[in-house]
A and B are shown apart, each in its own frame.
Chain A
Amino acid sequence: MGSAPVNYVNTAAILLVAYLAVFIESWPGGLRTWLRTQVDLLPALMVYCGLSTGLVTLSLTAVLGGLWFDTFSANPLGISILPQFLVGFCVYLARDLILRDQPYALDPRPRWQRGGTTPHRAFTLGRRLSASGRVGLTVAVDRHDPGRWPAHPSVLLVLRSPRSRPRLQPPDRNDLSPRPRDQARPRLNMLIFDQIKKGDPTLRIVAVSVALGLGVLLTGLWYIQVVSASQYRADVQEQSLRIIRVPAIRGKILDRNGFALAENRASYNVNLYLEELRRYFRYEYTNRLVPEYRSAHRGTRPVGKDDEALQHAARYRVVSNLMLQVSSLVRNPQLLDEHQFTNHYDNSRSLPFPLIRDLSAQQMALFVEKSARLPSLALEVQPHRIYPWTNTAAHLLGHLKRDSNPADDEDISFQFRLPDYVGVMGVELTFDEQLRGHPGVKSVLVNNLQYRQAEEILTAPEPGQNVVLTLDLTIQRATEKALRAVGPDTRGAAVVMDCLSGDVLAMASSPSFDPNMFTSRISEEEYAKLSDDELRPQLNRAALGTYPPGSIFKIIVALAGFESGLITTNEEFLSKGYYQINGRGIPWHCTAPAGTYDFDRAFYLSCNCYFIDHGLQIGFERIAEMGRRFGFGGRTGLTTRQEAAGYFPSPTDKIKKDGSRWMPGDTANLCIGQGELLVTPLQVAVMTAAIANGGEVLEPRLVDRLEPMDPSLGGNVTPFAKAQVRHRLRIAPAQLQIIRNAMLLDVEHRDPKGRLDGTGKLAAVDGMRICGKTGTAQLKEGRKLKEHITWFASFAPFETPRYALVVLIEGGVSGASTCAPVAHDIYEAILKREQQQTKPPAGTLAAR
C-alpha cells in the first residue's frame, strides 16, 4: 500500500517514538511535571508521518499510538485513533502542496550536505518571542535526489536564529525562477475537456446523458428549492423545531426591611433524557419482548398494533427499571406512573422526563455519588416558590397555582411550556405580571422520531421584579402570635397601620394557612381543613370580613354630636341602665351601671343609653354622613383590591338593606354599632388612624415599591406614593382631641381607689400611652344570639400617634376582655421593635 515500499526500520523507529511519546505523557514524573501542563506529542508525530512516511507507517502509527494513548486515558478504547489518523492523512494528501507551494527558505544544512546547487525548499513556522529575537521552526525538504521526490522527502526540524526580517519570504526574490510544471501530471480541466474536444463519441454520449440527467436534477432542485421553498421551510420548522417557553424566576416579596416573605429556592430534580435511551429501548424490544411474543404466537413477528404495544412496553420497562433503581438509590422507592410516562412520551418526547422531583440534601448526595453508572440521567435545578415564614401574612401574600398555559405571551406559539405558576390571590395575584417577569424562549431541534437532537436558548428569561411591602415582619408575626394566643382556631383579625403614612405594618387573619401547600400536593386532610365552612382559613378577615362594629361606632356618634353641638363634654346624663324610645317598647340594655354620666364617663364605660339618647337627638342623617366621611360603606383602596366595602346606610335614603323604611329603633341600633351597618377591621383601622392623625382618611398602603430582583445590577424602581389622603374630615381639631382624650381614658382611667376602670384597661402597656375603644356587637341568627363580635380600636402613643391598631375576634366574650389583651401583646411587641434595630427576628425559618 502506498506509493513507495515500506521502510521497516523507519516504521519501527516511528512506532518506538510513538511508544515513548505516550509513555512520556503518561508517566507521573514526565513532561507534565516539568511543564506544569499536559502536552500531546502524538499529533506532531502524525504530522511528521504525513510528511515523510507512507500510508502503512502512517496508519500503523495512528492505530498503535491511539490505542496506547487510550490505554492510559479514561477515553473509550480506540477513540483517539481516527483523529490521529486524519491529522496525518490530511497532511499526507497535501504534502505535495505543502512542500512545493511554500516560499523558499535557506537550507539550514551545511553546504557539504546539500551536495550541489539543487534548490531546497523549506517553509518557516515561527512567532515573535521578544522584541529583539525570533525563533523559527524550519522544515527543510531535501530535493537532492529527484528519484525520491515526493515519496521520501527528508524533513529536518531546525531551530534557527532570528533573521533580519522576520517575515515569510524568499531569501532573494529576484532569483525566484518559475517552477517547472510536472508534465506527468496533466491539469484537471485537460483530463475532461480535451477528451471531448477530441471527438470521442462514447464520451460525448456519456457527457450528454450526464448533462441531461443533471438538467433533470437541476429542474427538480429548482422546483423544490425555489417554488416550494416556503412550504418546505414551514414544514421543516414545524417538524424539526420545538419552541419551548422557559419561565422566568419569580420575583421575591419582601417586608419593609428586606426580609423575604416569599422567595425561590432551588428544587433539585432528576430528569431522564429519553433520546439517550433509544438503544436500551431497542435492546429490550429486540432481545426480550419480540422473542417472548414470537414464542407465544407460534413464531409470527409482531406487526401493526401488536408491534406498537411491544415498543411501548419496551420503553415502559426500561424507564420503569431506571425509576426503580434511581428511587431506591435515593431511598425513596417509587413506581413509574404509566399514564404520566405515556403522556410525556406521546406529547413532549423532546423534553426531559422528570423522574424524581425535589430531592432533599441527602437524596441529592446519594444520587450524585451513586448514580454515575446509570445512563441518561441528569440532576437539574428549577426554582420552587417558598414562603419561608409559612403562615405569616399568608392572606396578604396569597399563593400560586400551577399553570401551564399562561396568557401573557400570545404572540409566540409555544409547542411546550416548562412548568410555571401564576398568582391566585393576594400580592401574588395583584402583582403577578411584575413578579413573573418575561419568559424565555428555547428551541429544541428534534429528529424524525421526535427525540431531542440539540437545543438553543433563543431568548433568555428576564427575572421578575421584587415587590417590597410596607409590612414589618416582626410586628406581623407578633400580631399573628397575639391572635393565636386567644385560643385554638381563633377566628379574628388584626390590623396595624401607620397613622401618618397609611402604611400597613401588619395585617393578620386567623385561622391562617400555609401557602407552601399550594405549590406541592395538598393532602385530603389539609384540603378539608382549608374548606371548613366555619373557620374559613382562606378568608382574609381583616379586609374581606364584614362585621357590626358595636361600641367602637360610638366614636362616630360622638363626633356627629360634637359637630352638631348636641353633645358637650360638661353635660350630664342620667342612665337607668336600660333605654326605651319614648319610654316604651323593647329596651336596650346597657353594660354600664345606672347613674350619672358625662361624655368622658359614658365613653370609657361605653354607656349605650347615653349614646342612644344623644344619637336620636343628633339624627340618622348626621350620623350616617359622619360615617360616610370616614369611608364606611366603601373600599379603602387596598392595593390588592381584595377587600369588602361593607355596608353603611346612605344619609339621604332612609331605607334599610332589605328596602324597608328606616325607623327610630334603627337609629338607636346604629348609635351602638348594631343593625344596619357592617364594617371591616381595615376600615376601622383607617377610621382610627384618621382620629389619631388629625382628620386625614388615608388610603392604606401595602406596597412600598417594585424593584429589580438584583438591585445591585441596576434597573428601575417603582415607588408607591405615601400618605395618600382620600378625604379630610373637616372636623375641628379640638373635637378630635376630645375623642383622643376619651380614648386614652378608656385605657388609663382610674377609679377613686386608683384602679384602672376603663373598658380598654387590659390593653395598657408600660412605656406607651394607648388610646382605645372597645366594642362588643351581637350577631344574631333570627332572634337568637349566635355569638359576640368583639373589637378593640386603638392608637398609640397618645402624645405623637404613630400606630393605629384594630383587633377583632369572632365569638369573643367582649372587646374589653378578649380583644384588649391581644392589643396589649401587639403594642408590647411594637415597643420592643422600636427599641431594637432592624435585624431578622429570632428563629428565622430561612435557616430551615
Chain B
Amino acid sequence: MLKRPHYIALSLVLFLVLVIVNLPTQTATHLKLALGGLFLPLFGLATSAHALTEQAANALIPRPALLARLEQLQRENSQFRVREMQVAQIFRENERLRQSLNWQKQAQWKLRAARVIVRDPANWWRSIQIDAGQRDGIVLDLPVLTPDGLVGRIQQVGATRSRVALVGDPECPVSAVVAEGPVRDYGVIASGSPGVLDGSLVNLTYVSRPAAMKPGQRVLTSGIGGIFPPDILIGHIVDTNNVGFGLYTEARIKLGANLDSLEEVWVVLP
C-alpha cells in the first residue's frame, strides 16, 4: 500500500523527469555539457593515471627490446621516405594529367586529431565523445576516422567536446560501395548487426545486385552522399543474405576500425 511520502517522491520524480525530458534541445545539450563538466577532474585523473601507468610500463621495457624497436622504426622510416618520393612523383603526374583533362581537383583532407574521452554508457547507442569542439573548428556531420577505417560522424558539438555517432548507429547512416567487382554496387550502412557481444559488425543493406558481392571484399564510403568523402575503408564483407527473393542483398560487414578500443581519432575538417 502506497503512503503519502511514496506519492510525494513518485510525483516529484515524475515531474522532474517530465520537465527535463521536455527541455528544448539546445538547453538539454548545454545541461549535458555542464553536467559532463563535473566529471572532468575524474577523467583528467584517470588519463593521468593511465599515462603514468604507461610510463611506468615503458620504463620496465629492457634496453635491447627498445633498441630493436628503434632499429625497426628506422627501417620503416627509410621505407616511408622512399615511398614518399614515389608518392610525390605520382602526385606530380596526377597534377599534369588532371590539368590535361581539365579534371576537377580533389580537395585535400584537413585532419584534426582528437582523443576519445567518453564512451556511451548505454548499450543501445554507439557513440563516443572526443576532446575537440567548436574551438577546434569542429562542426556537425564532419566525418571521423582512424587509419584503420571510418569511425563515424560528429553528432553534437560543444565548445571543447563533441559527440561522435559511430558507424552502425542509426544516427550515422553511410552510403557505401563494394570496392571490388565489375561495377560499383551501392548500399547503405544503417544499423549495427545484432551479433552477440560483437560491436564490430554492421549491416550493409539495399545492395541491388547480389552476384557481385563476396566475403572478404572491401566496403568503402561511396562519396556520393555528401557527408563522407569517397573511398574511406569501412570494413570487409563477412557474409551476404538475399532479401525479398533477390530484391536486394544485405551483407554483414566487419568494421575496419576497432570501435571498442578507440583512443585517438581523426576528424576530417571541411
A-side residues, CB < 8 A to B, are 1-3, 19-20, 22-23, 25-30, 32-33, 36-38, 40, 55-56, 58-59, 62-63, 67-82, 85, 89, 93, 249, 263-266, 268, 361-362, 364-366, 368-370, 372, 379, 381, 383, 463, 709-710, 846-847
Whether B262 and A28, one on each chain, are in contact in the complex, defined by CB atoms closer than 8 angstroms, is: yes
Identify which of residues 164-188 in chain B touch chain A, using a CB-to-CB cut-off of 8 Å: 165, 169, 171-175, 182-183, 186, 188
Inter-chain CA distance A59–B128, complex, in Å, is 28
Which residue of B is nearest A848, CB measured? B183
Q: Determine the chain A residues whose CB is within 8 A of the CB of B10 once the complex forms.
A: 89
Whether A847 and B5, one on each chain, are in contact in the complex, defined by CB atoms closer than 8 angstroms, is: no
Q: Determine the chain B residues whose CB is within 8 A of the CB of A19 once the complex forms.
A: 38-39, 42
Across chains A and B, the number of contacting residue pairs, with CB separation under 8 Å, is 195
Q: A699 CB to closest chain B CB, in angstroms? A: 32
Whether A36 and B9, one on each chain, are in contact in the complex, defined by CB atoms closer than 8 angstroms, is: no
Question: Which of B9, B14, B16, B127 has a CB less than 8 Å from the CB of A73?
Answer: B127
Inter-chain CA distance A55–B4, complex, in Å, is 12
Q: A630 CB to closest chain B CB, in angstroms? A: 43
Q: Per-residue CB proximity of B1-45 to A under 8 Å, as 1/0?
A: 010011011101110110111010000100110011011001100
Q: Determine the chain A residues whose CB is within 8 A of the CB of B174 once the complex forms.
A: 368-369
Whether B9 and A59, one on each chain, are in contact in the complex, defined by CB atoms closer than 8 angstroms, is: yes
- B21, B117, B222 — most chain A CB neighbours (10 Å): B21
6 A-B contacts (beta carbon < 8 Å): A71-B32, A82-B13, A266-B247, A365-B224, A366-B225, A383-B244
Label chain B's interface by main secondary structure.
Answer: mixed
Identify which of residues 231-270 in chain B touch chain A, using a CB-to-CB cut-off of 8 Å: 244-248, 260-263
Query: Does B104 belong to the interface (CB within 8 Å)?
Result: no
Q: Determine the chain B residues whose CB is within 8 A of the CB of A28 once the complex forms.
A: 116-119, 128, 261-263
Q: B167 CB to closest chain A CB, in angstroms? A: 12
Q: Determine the chain A residues whose CB is within 8 A of the CB of B139 once the complex forms.
A: none
Whether A73 and B125, one on each chain, are in contact in the complex, defined by CB atoms closer than 8 angstroms, is: yes
Question: Which of A3, A36, A263, A361 has a CB less than 8 Å from the CB of B260?
Answer: A36
Q: Determine the chain B residues whose CB is within 8 A of the CB of A67 once the complex forms.
A: 20, 35
Q: A63-B16, A81-B13 are in contact. Are A55 and B6 (CB under 8 A)?
A: yes
Which residue of A is nearest B12, CB measured? A59
Q: Per-residue CB proximity of B157-168 to A under 8 Å, as 1/0?
A: 000000101000
Whether B23 and A381, one on each chain, are in contact in the complex, defined by CB atoms closer than 8 angstroms, is: no
Whether A266 and B228, one on each chain, are in contact in the complex, defined by CB atoms closer than 8 angstroms, is: no
Inter-chain CA distance A266–B250, complex, in Å, is 13
Identify which of residues 33-64 in chain B touch chain A, using a CB-to-CB cut-off of 8 Å: 35-36, 38-39, 42-43, 46, 50
Q: Determine the chain B residues whose CB is within 8 A of the CB of A710 once the complex forms.
A: 245-246
Query: Does B123 belong to the interface (CB within 8 Å)?
Result: yes
Whether A369 and B225, one on each chain, are in contact in the complex, defined by CB atoms closer than 8 angstroms, is: yes
Q: Told that A20-B42, A71-B39 touch, could you supply 4 new A-B pairs with CB distance under 8 A?
A: A28-B261, A33-B260, A40-B121, A81-B13
Whether A249 and B247, one on each chain, are in contact in the complex, defined by CB atoms closer than 8 angstroms, is: yes
Q: Per-residue CB proximity of B84-125 to A under 8 Å, as 1/0?
A: 000000000000000000000000000000001111111101
- A75, A80, A361, A369 — most chain B CB neighbours (10 Å): A369
B-side residues, CB < 8 A to A, are 2, 5-6, 8-10, 12-14, 16-17, 19-21, 23, 28, 31-32, 35-36, 38-39, 42-43, 46, 50, 116-123, 125, 127-129, 155, 163, 165, 169, 171-175, 182-183, 186, 188, 190, 197, 206, 208-209, 222, 224-228, 244-248, 260-263
Q: A58-B9, A361-B186 are in contact. Are A75 and B247 (CB under 8 A)?
A: no
Whether B227 and A81, one on each chain, are in contact in the complex, defined by CB atoms closer than 8 angstroms, is: no
Q: Determine the chain B residues whose CB is within 8 A of the CB of A30 once the complex forms.
A: 119
- B42, B119, B127 — most chain A CB neighbours (10 Å): B119
Question: Which of A63, A264, A368 has a CB less than 8 Å from the CB of B13?
Answer: A63
Question: Which of A58, A77, A369, A383 has a CB less than 8 Å from the CB of B227?
Answer: A369
Q: B26 CB to closest chain A CB, in angstroms? A: 11
Q: Determine the chain B residues whose CB is within 8 A of the CB of A383 once the complex forms.
A: 244, 247
Question: Which of A37, A78, A266, A366 has a CB less than 8 Å from the CB of B244?
Answer: A266
Whether A77 and B175, one on each chain, are in contact in the complex, defined by CB atoms closer than 8 angstroms, is: no
Inter-chain CA distance A67–B21, complex, in Å, is 11
Whether A362 and B206, one on each chain, are in contact in the complex, defined by CB atoms closer than 8 angstroms, is: no
Whether A69 and B122, one on each chain, are in contact in the complex, defined by CB atoms closer than 8 angstroms, is: yes
Q: A85 CB to closest chain B CB, in angstroms? A: 5
Whether B13 and A372, one on each chain, are in contact in the complex, defined by CB atoms closer than 8 angstroms, is: no
Q: Determine the chain A residues whose CB is within 8 A of the CB of B16 once the complex forms.
A: 63, 78, 81
Inter-chain CA distance A673–B244, complex, in Å, is 54
Question: Which of A27, A89, A364, A381 has a CB less than 8 Å from the CB of B43?
Answer: A27
Whether B46 and A62, one on each chain, are in contact in the complex, defined by CB atoms closer than 8 angstroms, is: no
Q: A63-B13, A365-B225 are in contact. Are A78 and B21 (CB under 8 A)?
A: yes
Question: Which of A3, A75, A372 has a CB less than 8 Å from the CB of B122?
Answer: A75
Q: A468 CB to closest chain B CB, in angstroms? A: 16
Q: Determine the chain B residues whose CB is within 8 A of the CB of A362 once the complex forms.
A: 224
Q: Determine the chain B residues whose CB is within 8 A of the CB of A265 once the complex forms.
A: 208, 247
Q: Determine the chain A residues whose CB is within 8 A of the CB of B42 once the complex forms.
A: 19-20, 23
Whether A77 and B32, one on each chain, are in contact in the complex, defined by CB atoms closer than 8 angstroms, is: yes
Inter-chain CA distance A78–B122, complex, in Å, is 13
Whether A29 and B5, one on each chain, are in contact in the complex, defined by CB atoms closer than 8 angstroms, is: no
Q: Determine the chain B residues whose CB is within 8 A of the CB of A846 once the complex forms.
A: 209
